[in-house]
Structure 1
Amino acid sequence: MGSVVLVDVTAGPGIGFLPMMALGPAFAGLIGNVRRSVVIGVVALVLSLMLSIFNDQLGERRGYTTLFSVAGVAVAGVAATAMRQRREAELASVRSIAEAAQRVLLRPVPRNAGHLRAAVSYTSAMADARIGGDLYEVVTSPTGVRIIVGDVQGKGLEAVETAAVVVGAFREAAYDEKDLMAVGERLERALSRHLSGEKFVTAVLAEVRDGDGATLLNFGHPAPLMIRPDGSVSFVEPPERAMPLGLDLEDGPAPEPHPVPFVPGDQLLFYTDGVSEARDRFNRFYPIDERGDLFKDPDPDAVLASVRHDLADHVGAPPHDDAAMLLLRYRDQ
Structure 2
Amino acid sequence: MSTMTQSDLPGVGMTPGNIRSKKLPLAMNLAVAVVAFGLAAAIVYGFGIGNWVLVVVLGWVLYLVGLLIAASRVEGRRAARNRAWRSLIYSACILAILPLASVVWTLISKGVQRLDGDFFNSSMNNIGARDPGGGAYHAIIGTIQQVGIATIIAVPLGVLGAIYLVEYGRGRFANTVRFFVDVMTGIPSIVAGLFILSFWVLIVSPWFNNGEPRFSGFAAALALSVLMLPTIVRSTEEMLRLVPGPLREGAYALGVPQWKTILKIVVPTALPGIVTGVMLAIARAAGETAPVLLVAGGAAAINFDPFNGNQSSLALFVYQQAGDASKYAPARAWTAALTLVAIVLILTIAAKMLARRNSLTR
Q: TM tier, shorter chain?
A: under 0.3
Higher helix share: 2
TM-score, scaled to structure 2: 0.26
TM-score, scaled to structure 1: 0.28
Higher RCO, 1 or 2 (CA under 8 Å, sep at least 6)?
2
